[in-house]
Amino acid sequence: MAAQPRKRIVLPLVAGLTVLIALAFLTPAAPWLIWVAVGVLTLSLYMTYGELQRQKTQDVPATPVPEPVRVQPEGPSFQEVLRAIPDPVMIVSGVEPNDIAGRWIVFANTAAVEAFGIVKEGGLLVSSLRYPEVLEAVDEALFGGIARDTVFETSGAQDKFWRAWTSPLPVAEGGMKRLSLLVIRDETDIRRIERMRADFLANASHELRTPLASLTGFIETLRGHAKDDIKARDKFLNIMASQADRMGRLIQDLLSLSRIEMNEHVPPSGEADLALCARDVMDGLSILAQEKQVSLTVKGPPPGQYFLTADRDQVLQVVQNLSDNALKYAPRGSTVELEIFNDCTLEEAFGARDPSASKLVLLRPDRRDAWYTVVRVTDRGPGIRREFLPRLAERFYRVEGQKSGDRLGTGLGLAIVKHIINRHRGALVVESVAQPSVADKDLLPYGGLDVGPTGPVETYTSFSACFPQAGRYKESPVIGFVNAR
């Protein structure tokens, strides 16, 4: 195999050299023979060089040529990437600066559609976002070329705080349409933590000031002229113990409220049996009820049959706070009733049992077409007058005339109940009948008209906590308020 390449190299050289040697022996040589010899020698050298290059190429392996790199790799498109971003992202277009309503949603990712209820792309921006600060920022990006951020708040069952960033996007030269990128981020958690910290410090310092001042005063008294008075010392020590217990309950309620508020926007995912929670609470309050000579009754379905999607510890706390509050104001010899109703609509839950009662919805859910399980706690105490109902769920609020007694509360129980029910997307209703006061005479008609019987009024207070069901149970032994009566 190697002989053929050697012949292709040696033969042209031999031919050229032979011609040159022949010319050397020919004297004198013809001029045309000289040109022939030079041509043969040049051709032989060219053929030899070409053969050497060809063999060199065959001996060295060929280097693979790399494929050209693609600028856009194979994979998801740019819009699919934007749709997968967890924050709401929109691209807004506009043509005329003076046309305030002419801002169109060119693109909206999945998070934007779910958060702001965008029906379809190509709709008006003001149909989904009606917040002036956001619309102003979009206009500045569209027609001013300015990138900026702004904050806004949405209200509903769950108040949310948002931060929006706007930035202009490049458009075709000479085009009339302008484009702007709108990115929105949920900052509810950050705001809630900041507010929780500020509220905790303000409320704790305000509410702890009174018992601390009381303890300081008694300590100074015991150090002074009452140092040797045994009777006064025992009295003061009992009061100090009561104040210290109040401080402990206050701190515990504040911590509990802070934890609830931190997770209030996160729907529960556990499972709870409301009937079992109610019986556990009543068993725990039985000793205290015996001391006050108050009867406890529970009416509703048996435990272990109907379950809610709820946080069991928080449901237990709702029943505990409402029952403890009822027992606190129930007079001796009366009864505290705890009733559970399944398959209730909001209309049934909000309906008043007594037409003459004062009734107020303290918390109303967004959904009205769902089924609810309702726990209603009723006491036969002095009742709550109509003007006091709107403030019942405020922190540290206590009704006038009920701020003293053997079991003074912290004013946080109903606030905790409201936040827990709000997390469960439920409702809270209060209904009460109170004794008329002297001020009610101003509301009665003049001219000696008959205003009905003026005998004693049967007072009561009833709190109804509504928890949403996953669906209608259908086989519930108690269906709705109307049939339950």
Residue 231 and residue 234: Cα distance in Å, rounded? 5
pTM of the model as a whole: 0.56
What is the chain's pLDDT, residue by residue, as a tens digit (485 residues)? 455 555 555 666 666 666 666 666 655 656 666 666 667 667 777 777 777 777 666 654 544 444 443 444 566 677 788 888 999 999 999 888 887 778 899 999 999 988 888 877 778 888 888 899 999 999 999 999 999 999 998 876 567 889 999 999 988 766 678 899 999 999 888 887 777 677 767 766 766 777 788 788 888 888 887 777 788 888 888 888 877 887 887 788 778 877 887 778 788 888 999 999 999 999 888 888 888 899 999 998 888 888 898 999 999 999 999 998 899 889 999 999 999 998 888 888 887 777 788 888 898 887 777 889 999 999 998 888 888 888 888 777 777 655 544 445 677 888 889 999 999 989 999 999 887 765 554 444 434 434 444 556 788 999 999 999 888 876 544 433 333 33
Burial 90-101 (b: 16+ CB within 10 A, else e): bbbbbeeeeeee
Question: Cβ neighbours of residue 203 under 8 Å, at least 6 residues apart?
Answer: 254, 395, 396
